[in-house]
Amino acid sequence: MTLKKLKTHFAESLKGLYPSEEIQSFFNILSEKYLNLSRIEIALNPEKTVSETEAEKFQKAILRLQNHEPVQYIIGETEFYGLPFKVNEHTLIPRPETEELVEWIYIEFSNQQSTINNQQFLDIGTGTGCIAISLAKNLSNAKVSALDISEEALKIAQQNAEMNKVKIDFFQKDILAAETLPKKYDVIISNPPYVRELEKKQMQQNVLKHEPESALYVSNEDPLLFYRAISHLAKKHLNPEGKLFFEINEYLADELTVLLEGEGFKNIQVKKDIFGKDRMIKCSLNEPAK
């Protein structure tokens, strides 16, 4: 089979399930993984022969895509903040808005590289480890820890830390049941579950059917459950000048601000993502020095 015929078969098999641009993107991603061909090389070599083994890999991928499985799970990897990350069904696929959260933190601390030598960062609900690893890679003097309730997710996170050549102190903990944390921290970050059950109808099938529910959803009745638990622990385990960063539900910024004020946090700042949605918040235990 030629590359051109494979591409046509691939597009026909997924027609009606995805937009044509997304199908093209899937084909390019799989071609890079299975054929080691770039998008340009695909366009320049339409008559290139594809082996039976290679064609079979594409056919298996088609079946999984027809079941709305995320292409990142199919190839077992994704990119986040310019770094490679392994992913599987036990981990949430990192989102662009989480990259924006990392960038916000990086900008805040990058000018302090010489002074953060012993500053302690903690990522709560680390999943793939994308936040912790990206910060450790780019803030080389920071000491980074990360926790998750899922043993399987922590296995992937550890592999990702090794792949990206950073040292992270990973540990398993259920943050909703935790009464303490191991030490004091200068920065605590979390992207906890925040999608309400009522918002499921807005989600894509690939998310609904395949990504881990425990990393995504909260009840309609108590959507700030994780934020309450984390902020309560942060109040006890942040150093005096410590900061707390969250990724948030775009519809709940006001409610979360009230919660954080009630816990005694100061200097609360909500930040919009590139689409103008309230998606991040930061606060501190004390007012900034004048």
List pLDDT tens digits, range 160-217: 999 999 999 999 999 999 999 999 999 999 999 998 888 877 878 777 788 788 778 8
Residue 289 has pLDDT above 60, yes or no: no
Tell me, yes or no, whether 37 and 116 share the same domain: no
Phi, psi of 5, rounded to the nearest 5 degrees: -65, -40
Binding residue per annotation — 257? no
Q: Which two tokens stand for residue 124?
A: 């709560």
Tell me, yes or no, whether 181 and 242 share the same domain: yes
Residue 113 has pLDDT above 60, yes or no: no
Tell me, yes or no, whether 114 and 166 share the same domain: yes
Binding residue per annotation — 194? yes
Q: Is residue 289 part of a domain?
A: no
Q: Is residue 290 part of a domain?
A: no
Q: Is residue 59 part of a domain?
A: yes
Residue 122 has pLDDT above 70, yes or no: yes
Binding residue per annotation — 193? yes
Q: 250 by DSSP, 3-state: which?
A: coil
Q: pLDDT for 214-263, tens place per residue? A: 778 888 899 999 999 999 999 999 999 899 999 999 999 999 999 999 99
Tell me, yes or no, whether 98 and 228 share the same domain: yes
Final residue of a structural domain among 17, 40, 67: 67
CB atoms within 10 A of CB 19: 9
Which position has the token pair 């594409």?
A: 58
Q: Is residue 277 part of a domain?
A: yes
Tell me, yes or no, whether 123 and 217 share the same domain: yes
Tell me, yes or no, whether 27 and 147 share the same domain: no
Final residue of a structural domain among 34, 67, 100: 67
Binding residue per annotation — 276? no
Binding residue per annotation — 127? yes
Final residue of a structural domain among 19, 36, 67: 67
Tell me, yes or no, whether 169 and 199 share the same domain: yes
Contacts of 36 (CB under 8 A, 6+ apart): none
Binding residue per annotation — 128? yes
Domain of residue 237 covers 83-284
pLDDT band at 114 (very low <50, low <70, confident <90, very high): low
Q: Is residue 41 part of a domain?
A: yes
Tell me, yes or no, whether 261 and 140 share the same domain: yes
Task: Please report the pLDDT score of residue 124 as a whole number.
Answer: 98
Tell me, yes or no, whether 87 and 205 share the same domain: yes
Mean pLDDT of 92-96: 94
Torsion sign (Cα): 168, 170, 174, 177: negative
Q: How many domains does the chain have?
A: 2
Q: pLDDT for 35-47, tens place per residue? A: 999 999 999 999 9
pLDDT band at 288 (very low <50, low <70, confident <90, very high): low
Mean pLDDT of 96-115: 86
Task: Please report the pLDDT score of residue 269 as a whole number.
Answer: 97
Q: Is residue 116 part of a domain?
A: yes
- To the nearest whole number, what is the mean pLDDT of the chain? 93
Tell me, yes or no, whether 57 and 195 share the same domain: no
d(CA 163, CA 155): 12
Binding residue per annotation — 148? yes
Tell me, yes or no, whether 133 and 236 share the same domain: yes
Tell me, yes or no, whether 50 and 93 share the same domain: no
Residue 281 near residue 268, CB atoms below 8 Å: yes
Q: Is residue 104 part of a domain?
A: yes
Residue 121 near residue 187, CB atoms below 8 Å: yes
Residue 215: CATH number of its domain? 3.40.50.150
Binding residue per annotation — 126? yes
